[in-house]
Structure 1
């Protein structure tokens, strides 16, 4: 019958169709291997682009890698001489250790390796620009080599003329600091662009080795100027010393490795020429100098002083003042300086280092931003806001480590601008 013929046909059709079982059942013969997973391809992009011309003398070899890492970088000039390069910490590029020369060709060969072991190599040849005829921005690195500095020493670079806001990120990318042992920090700009400071959230650990490079020679700065020079310095942090000066008591506390070792009577600035309150850093030390304030407001005198330690660009010093010893500890009579007895000033010169923290409190005026190395006169949060580049995550204040004793030697940074105290 017709219905029996249709039922038989349906049975044949079902029997010929494979059954779909659970997803864990392999649909292959025993011993047959699964197809290998496809790995993402290794990608490598190198800059400058091949045959690029008129590139700045501060050009770096930029590398962008996906699914692998850079394993070799080789740079040679047009005479075949090798050019030493250093990697940026974030891996974004390789920086020549010396500024490139004008009107020269360079070839960079970069190799990247995938996790699978596969490699790829890219090569680029580029030519630098002629020597710039634009005016140079004068930069001064206030961090000399082969010195021993205090634990509050900020790495300071000053600029003349100041760096405009739109150019600060480019300048900051060419400022490098390495510390051993590692103690990360950040740069922060004075608001007018005349100085930029580098420090860590906490004071440097005694014994830290700090290497600095301001690689600014030939760097385009805005549309109208270039950087003037490439400077380097490496120095060491000495023992912890800090000075605390209280106007209420007219006393200076000298603190070494966390212990007050001496209290010294002082005379600060009189009301018409008050001493600044704030956190300062000893900038330079002079066994002998002359203060000449003729032509300055509230000035007009010339006086020779001994054992002078500069705190501000405006001319505030700690120094010996035998003429005011009768007032020290009771009355302020100076023109803004911190006056000590001749004997105390001589003793203090043997204890302090450039880079030691000096805190003054209770006077009539506050320390102005940038009047000296004012990196510690703000909180870490405020300091980090002054960076022209993103601050790495995790750089947050932490309790200061207990200072450890260490050897110390005196030292001065590069010569400071003239300025008189009293």
Structure 2
């Protein structure tokens, strides 16, 4: 069982709520003009004519915008919100002190307007919000606020997804945090982690118990050809431990064809499926009883055509070795791989002799390596050890109901949709 440092560079909210139903941006609305003693656009009746004019219509009340006007020290993750009981906001304009407009989008749930990039530290902004109430009257509100200086204590984050790459159908969106996110902060952080898929597919987040990773997946494997767009909008998000998110991270990637590997310890065979059809069956040797392979659904996380397994730091001297390995595909952080093992070809399909890896022949290892993608699933059944949560990208090694139970926010039946 090889031991390596994790692959995948660390590439890697305060959410203001309101009772308002926000919708997409629209045209500016002008306030109606009112004439004292009469309605807009009509002459004022003369008192000498013995008539009494209609009472003057009150001007629409200004919107109360959040952040409040004159506030300072706001996080750069700040969102803009306002409230119109029974109505909706039609437009939000956020402008920096230098006059530049800040792009952004309204959440589908109407709670706030989210800037498309983190705000700048120690910068003054003016937010102008327009909307219409239930009676059709147009309202507008303005707030000028200042963001905080760059904090000294930040939390590191990472995103295991790279723009322009193609992944297997089991590729979860993996967000990583160092140190982990405290449990009471996870809902606010999760609300700032946006995932969109094309074609649309519902999904949910699941947090590991220690808060160091969160996975996003759909109820089933992604549809082949799906485009996944992710933004971890965490720059400046304040946490209860006094730290702030360090940066925003984003990626847009594709999902390739369906490719699955299923290993049965009872038969010691791997069945390979492509787009639902069996394309090959391979004999394997799994981990011996003292070092069993993990049972569960794992994901190919890293591929190395040639590498060296060095386990000289293992406490058991019987498990210490240095060996050159070909066609290695990592499936756990603990050191389990699919790899070519020419020294065990004589027992593959009959007996388990590995240190926990899935051993295949040199020819089969080369064949598999040439066809797999990072994100392809491998399911192993019937071994003496169950896959531990977090030992690899374990998002699929649990039922959908178990998965959504790990969300910090309520998940609608069937999964949540996009935020925008």
Shorter-chain TM-score bucket reads: 0.7 to 0.9
- Where 1:347 maps in the other structure, the secondary structure is helix
Write out aligned runs for 1:15-414 (5 A). Answer: 44-114=63-133, 117-134=136-153, 136-298=154-316, 299-395=319-415
Answer yes or no: is the 8 Å Cα contact 1:75–1:109 preserved in 2: yes
- Classify 1:125/1:237 alpha carbon distance in 2 versus 1 (closer, same or farther; 3 Å): same
SS at match of 1:168: helix
Name the counterpart of 2:53.
Answer: none
Whole-angstrom CA distance in 1 between matches of 2:412 and 2:390 = 24
Q: Residue by residue, what CA displacement relative to the aligned partner does 1:222-268 show, whole Å, maximum 9, x if unpaired?
A: 23212122110001111111110011111000011111110001111
Q: Give the corresponding residue for 1:418.
A: none
Quickly say closer, same or farther: Cα 1:239–1:226, change in 2 above 3 A.
Answer: same
Q: 1:74 to 1:147 in 2, by over 3 A?
A: same
1:387-421 per-position Cα deviation (integer Å, ceiling 9, x unaligned): 1111134539xxxxxxxxxxxxxxxxxxxxxxxxx
Q: How far is the alpha carbon of 1:42 from its aligned partner?
A: 8.6
- The offset of 1:43, in angstroms, is 8.4
CA deviations 1:269-293 (Å, max 9, x no partner) are: 1111110000111111111222111
**Counterpart for residue 28 of structure 1:** none
Q: Structure 2 CA distance, aligned partners of 1:290 and 1:215?
A: 38
In the superposition, relative to structure 1, how do residues 294 and 64 fare at CA in structure 2: closer, same or farther (>3 Å)? farther
- SS of the equivalent of 1:53 reads coil
Distance 1:198 1:86 in 2: 22
Q: CA deviation at 1:385?
A: 0.9
Q: In 2, distance between residues paired with 1:253 and 1:221?
A: 46
Whether contact under 8 Å (2:85, 2:134) holds in the other structure is no
Note if contact 1:63-1:91 (Cα within 8 Å) is conserved in structure 2: no
Kept in 2: contact 1:53–1:128 (CA 8 A): yes
- 1:116, CA displacement in angstroms? 5.4
After superposition, the Cα gap between the structure-2 partners of 1:43 and 1:348, relative to the gap in structure 1 and judged at 3 Å, is farther
- Distance in 1 separating the partners of 2:228 and 2:241: 33
CA distance in 2, matches of 1:43, 1:304: 72
Unaligned 5+ segments in structure 2 are 1-59
User: Counterparts of 2:277 and 2:413 in 1: how far apart (Å)?
Assistant: 34
CA shift in 2, pair 1:366/1:188, >3 Å = same
Alignment deviations for residues 291-330 of structure 1 (CA, whole Å, 9 cap, x no partner): 1111124432111211111111111110111111112111
* Contact 2:62–2:140 (CA under 8 A) maintained in structure 1: no
Q: What is the alpha-carbon distance in structure 2 between the residues aligned to residue 319 and residue 247 of structure 1? A: 17
> Relative to 1, partners in 2 of residues 1:84 and 1:317: Cα closer, same or farther, differing over 3 Å?
same
CA distance in 2 between partners of 1:389 and 1:296 (Å)? 40
Between the aligned partners of 2:315 and 2:350, the Cα distance in structure 1 is 26
Compute the displacement of 1:117 (Å): 4.4
User: Could you say if the C-alpha distance between residues 265 and 295 of structure 1 is closer, same or farther in structure 2, counting changes exceeding 3 Å?
Assistant: same
Partner Cα separation in structure 2 for residue 366 and residue 339 of structure 1: 18
| Higher CA-based Rg | 1
1-structure distance, mates of 2:235, 2:149: 13
The answer to whether the Cα contact below 8 Å between 1:42 and 1:114 also exists between their aligned partners in 2 is: no
Structure 2: distance between partners of 1:106 and 1:394: 39
Tell me how far 1:159 sits from its aligned partner: 1.4
Structure 1, unpaired ranges of 5+: 1-40, 397-422
- On the 8 A contact 2:84/2:132 being kept in 1, the answer is no
Give the Cα–Cα distance (whole angstroms) in 2 for the partners of residues 257 and 94 of structure 1: 41
Question: Matches of 1:163 and 1:104 in 2, distance apart?
Answer: 27
Using structure 1 for the length normalisation, give the TM-score: 0.81
